[in-house]
Amino acid sequence: MTEVTTPADEAPVLEVNDLEVRFTSGRSTVYAVNDVSFTMRAGETLALVGESGSGKSTIAKAVVGLVEPASGEVLLRGEAQAGDRVRRDRATRGDIQMVFQNPVGSLNPFMTVEANIAEPLRNRGVAKAERAARVRELLTVVGLDADTLGPRKPGEISGGQAQRVSIARALASEPAVLIADEAVSALDVSVQATVLNVLRRVVDEEQVAMLFISHDLAVVRNVSDTVAVLHMGQLCEIGPTEDILAAPAHHYTAALRAAVPEPGVPLGDPGMTDADPPSPRIRPTGCSFRDRCLAATSRCAEVLPPLTMVGPERAVACHHPLDRDAVASAIPSVTAQGALA
């Protein structure tokens, strides 16, 4: 497989190599993630985008150790990580942290905000006085007042506040990699902007590598440096966010772009058929998007398209890639939903 590599002088913090994840129940097997590879540097945000069932959250869970890969590897600073998070060394277990979609549900409802954030510090053996100081510092980092919100329970604060508490708790472990799994999708647009600004500031100031999972291309454009497009567990396209959203090379990426609503602009032709995608219970052969792609040929069903470089730090897996200049002029621009400062 061709891989989008990082510059020689910037060693990757996270490497995912040829990752495959399968779920088996009885005689049935779901092929959730198929041969996905990418790398991330400190201070970089990589977004995983795609429809529901494309494998975004499964990749995140494999990276953090919540699911066991069938094959492939996850490397943190060049060191392989155990598939089972429980087996990871205590010294590195906190280096990859996750912010979940449900902010209130991800916090312990019986503990105060302060106690929720302090729990990772307590597990690491940090002294009580030092924990209290660090909690106040973390609440300040995410823009919350420690005196007002610290003594409250998660059910007594808003969803946006709870999500920022979740971010503070994740940062308590001083992670090298932060995973945000649909972390703003359940929030109002105005609250999304606040949380996204916090995440961007954390990435810039703390030099954390962030894996950002979303189905919202407008949000992705505002928060990510690199975007990886997934369809049925296959990596379709990867590269700089602006380049890919401005001029997709893969037909599936173009369809996603055409589906983004623009104020006062009719939705564009998605450029695909109404056929159902192949079943994830069938071992994948060829391109997973072939049944809905207008450009598909018999080769697309028989031969898996390799990930091929089409520009600096940009690759596409397609036997018949689009004319990106023509696509850019045909599809409206992706705009942000809400003002992000």
Q: Is residue 73 part of a domain?
A: yes
CATH number where 67 lies: 3.40.50.300
pLDDT at res. 263: 61
Q: Is residue 170 part of a domain?
A: no
Instruction: Tell which residue, 29, 220, 85, 113, has the closest CA to residue 211.
Output: 220
Angle between helix 159-171 and helix 189-206 axes, rounded to 10 deg: 10
Q: Is residue 340 part of a domain?
A: no
pLDDT average per 10 residues of sequence, the chain (341 residues):
51 93 90 94 95 91 90 86 54 79 86 93 88 92 90 91 91 91 81 86 91 90 94 95 93 88 61 78 88 91 92 91 63 47 36
Angle, CA of 26, 32 and 34, to the nearest 5°: 120
**Total count of domains within the chain:** 1
Q: Is residue 336 part of a domain?
A: no
Q: Is residue 134 part of a domain?
A: no
Residue 55, sorted as left (phi over 0), alpha (psi -120 to 50) or beta, turns out to be left
The model carries a pTM of 0.86
Q: Cα–Cα distance between 26 and 234 in angstroms, integer?
A: 24
Q: Is residue 284 part of a domain?
A: yes
Q: Is residue 136 part of a domain?
A: no
DSSP summary character for residue 81: P
pLDDT at res. 198: 86
**Domain extent for 260:** 14-95+175-330
Q: Is residue 152 part of a domain?
A: no
